[in-house]
Amino acid sequence: GGMAEVFRARQPQPVGEPRLVAIKRMLPAIAAQAGSRAMFEAESHLGTLIQHPNVVEVLDVGEEGGQPYLALEYVRGLDLGRFTRFLTREGLSLDLPLAIFVVRQLLAGLHAVHIACQADGTPLSVVHRDVSPSNVLLSKYGDVKLADFGIAFAEFQDSLPQGSVTDHAQGKLGYLAPEQVTGDDCDRRADIFSGAAIAAELVMGRPLFGGGSELAILLAIRDAEIHPLIEMSDTLPAGLTDVLGRALSRNPEERIATALELSNLLAPYEDAPESALRRGLAELVTSAMHLVENGEVPPTPLVFEEVLDAALAADPHLRAVTEESSPDAGPVTSRPGPLYPHVEDGPQDVDDVAALEGGELRIVTAGGLHFGPWTYARLVEAIMLGKVGPFDRLKISGGKDRMLGRIPALERHIAPHGLTTTASEPPPKPTKATTLDLANGGITSALAWGALRRDTGLWLCEFGGSRKEVYLKDGTPAYVTSNLAGELLGEYLVARSVISRGELDMALAVLPRYEGRLGDTLVAIGLIEPVQLFQQIAGQVREKLLDIFMWIGGRATYHPDVEAPTAAFPLDLEPWSILDEGVDRRLAHGLEDERFEGRRDVPFTRCDPLPGGLDPNALPIPIRRILEALEAPSTVNELTYAFPDLLGGSMTSVPRSLVVLAHLGAIVLPE
């Protein structure tokens, strides 16, 4: 693996007989990284403290030539990942009792990990964090053993050097828990989710979160979309889907809390003697080993560098981006005269990226500007920056003009801007036009009322040359677009040192190979891990929205019943959390001083009656408590003194609630 290499050695057993063991030591490149040795030693310490028949045993810890190593129990067999590929290849599936046997054996080992203690009895509070088929070993004797504590977290790891433990989930994608995907804190319940995902896979005969791109898998996990399992419930014993569904709850608080509890709930479905199940597993593993060792069931690794090298070697059109990197570069001429005449397009034959990437691309805008020749990657960038739009026309290698908005291969990039001035179809007209002034934080009103009314629609926000589209779904921000170059994903990642400028240029060079999707390209060529990319995209889109709170001008127009583009990266933003953070930023930068300057001892008053449609019970508890308190006029200082516990006693909690209430028209500001 990436952390260490494993090979066989011999170690005497107590009776003096030789014994095969596995030696795990750090690869030189990994050993040179800061903190990596401390992580390896932490794994060693964990292994020596956990002794259980369903956990791979650490037999010895030592050092050779200045390099640490672990001597591990050698499990003669194969991992669960290769085993399931063997079953798929042979058209086999595990009988339900045998599948449950494997899962319960895994859960027994996992429970031992979770309850492990220091020598003095102090709980270690271990979270394995990488419970996935590749870390579940099956022996030819029917044993099931949990392996690899390389990224396990425990309390004693707080003493490791800063940076020695990565701050993003490293587990195998399809078996991560939702909180690992979103980058939130996780405890042993994350391992329960992963174990349940493995259980669902063995019961279903296919991965629960498989198929699609890496981001699609992560989205399904984040939202705990377990429909494939639910759809099979009629073919499974009564109650089994409910048990697994509880273990796969999106909210850890609603999840089955321990591996032992989950194992006990699954016990009724292991309806066969353990000896017979162990014997059946041993026979299948032995058969699978034979095929694996003969190369008939390959491990199917993904080596992204090889993909990139092959793409570059096979396609002379792919090249490093230098002068091609900016949509504003290159020959541009202007032709005076009327707008480019409208020509009715016939059926389009440019329905995939391959038809675009090899040609010479030239653009004629609706205003008569000529751009090109451009590469496909450069055209996509220009669309995303708003330099060209759906009504502009594309000519490929001197062929027929085609309207960009009618080319399927480009539709996903144009869709987010479908309601701007260059939209191919006008937005549906609202029954009542709604426009807000953004100069004084009007986005607060837009999001607060949207959350209360559970709006689905679009807020089109414009200020100077900046234009952003905020899509709501049932009152929750679902997607945000921006025409600002600095808010493009690539620029966002470079600004945060996630990738370098040169790496971004390299990704843009091979963008056509991945259908113009920068995120997929970065993952495919190994520049970023999928989970890290997922979290960065979520942060990028969140920042696009929060930036609007800081605008000192502009306006927002609401278009109801407009859905977010199908190609959009769906957010998972709690609207009141966004309001808290956005208003906090305004307070920190003095943009709300006008409301409070010299007024901390002047009483605020609740409006009577409240604005139509405002139900206080629909407000978050902190804001509701402030509104209830204002039935009697109160000052900021009085409210702060009355609610010291409000949102952890933050000094801005009362002003923040007052700002939101003011934008809802629920309070009267003091003169």
Poorest-pLDDT segment among 156-165, 450-459, 523-532, 659-668: 156-165
Angle, CA of 184, 52 and 145, to the nearest 5°: 70
What is the overall mean pLDDT for the chain?
A: 76
Q: Residue 654: exposed, middle, or buried by beta-carbon count in 10 A (0-12, 13-18, 19+)? A: buried
Q: Report the C-alpha gap between 554 and 560 in whole angstroms.
A: 20
Whether pLDDT at 318 is above 50: no
pLDDT confidence tier of residue 178, bands split at 50, 70 and 90: very high
**Strand bridging mode 144-146 / 136-139:** antiparallel
Q: Report the C-alpha gap between 664 and 452 in whole angstroms.
A: 10
Instruction: Give the 3-state secondary structure of residue 418.
Output: coil
Q: φ and ψ at 127, to 5 degrees?
A: -120, 120
What pLDDT score was predicted for residue 16? 54
What pLDDT score was predicted for residue 327? 36
Residue at token pair 């986005």:
443
What pLDDT score was predicted for residue 194? 96
**118 with 49: CB under 8 angstroms?**
yes
Which of residues 369 and 324 earns the better pLDDT score?
369
What residue type is 238 in one-letter code?
A
**401 with 369: CB under 8 angstroms?**
no
Whether pLDDT at 527 is above 60: yes
Q: Report the C-alpha gap between 589 and 60 in whole angstroms.
A: 57
What pLDDT score was predicted for residue 292? 63
**Strand bridging mode 332-334 / 369-374:** antiparallel
pLDDT confidence tier of residue 189, bands split at 50, 70 and 90: very high
Q: Residue 608: exposed, middle, or buried by beta-carbon count in 10 A (0-12, 13-18, 19+)? A: exposed
Whether pLDDT at 266 is above 90: yes
- 3-state SS string for 290-306: HHHHCCCCCCCCCCHHH
What pLDDT score was predicted for residue 120? 84
**394 with 409: CB under 8 angstroms?**
no
Six token digits for residue 387: 């330099």
Whole-Å CA distances, 317 to 171, 360, 381: 36, 10, 17
Residue at token pair 């966004």:
578
- Average pLDDT value for residue range 307-332: 36
Measuring CA to CA, which residue among 471, 489, 491, 493 is closest to residue 480? Answer: 471
Buried-exposed string 461-492: b where 16+ CB fall within 10 A, e elsewhere: bbbeebbbbbbbbebbbbbbbbbebebbbbeb
pLDDT confidence tier of residue 13, bands split at 50, 70 and 90: low
pLDDT in tens, 375-421: 877 787 677 655 676 667 888 877 777 777 667 777 656 543 332 33
What residue type is 295 in one-letter code?
G
Can you give the length of the chain in residues? 671
Collect contacts of 160-164 with beta carbons under 8 A, ≥24 apart: 160/35, 160/38, 160/39, 160/42, 161/34, 161/35, 161/38, 162/35, 163/34, 163/35, 164/34, 164/35, 164/36, 164/38, 164/39
pLDDT confidence tier of residue 60, bands split at 50, 70 and 90: confident
Whether pLDDT at 426 is above 70: no
Catalytic annotation on 352?
no
Please give the radius of gyration of the chain, using alpha carbons only, rounded to the nearest integer. 29
pLDDT confidence tier of residue 547, bands split at 50, 70 and 90: very high
- 3-state SS string for 551-618: CCCCEEEEEECCCCCCCCCCCCCCHHHHHHHHHHHHHHCCCCHHHHCCCCCCCEEECCCCCCCCCHHH
pLDDT in tens, 228-264: 899 888 999 999 999 999 999 999 999 999 999 999 9
- Average pLDDT value for residue range 649-664: 78
What pLDDT score was predicted for residue 281? 94
Residue 467: DSSP 8-state: E
Distance of CA 443 to the CA centre of its chain: 26
pLDDT in tens, 143-171: 999 987 655 555 445 444 433 333 333 44
The pTM is what?
0.62
What residue type is 94 in one-letter code?
L
Six token digits for residue 60: 């010895």
Catalytic pick from 95, 120, 130, 593? 130
- Residue 616's contacts (CB-CB under 8 Å, 6 or more residues apart) are 610, 624, 627, 628
Between the CA atoms of 80, 85, 89 and 95, what dihedral angle is there, to the nearest 10 degrees? 40
What pLDDT score was predicted for residue 347? 37
What pLDDT score was predicted for residue 193? 97
Q: Report the C-alpha gap between 41 and 3 in whole angstroms.
A: 12
Residue 212: DSSP 8-state: S
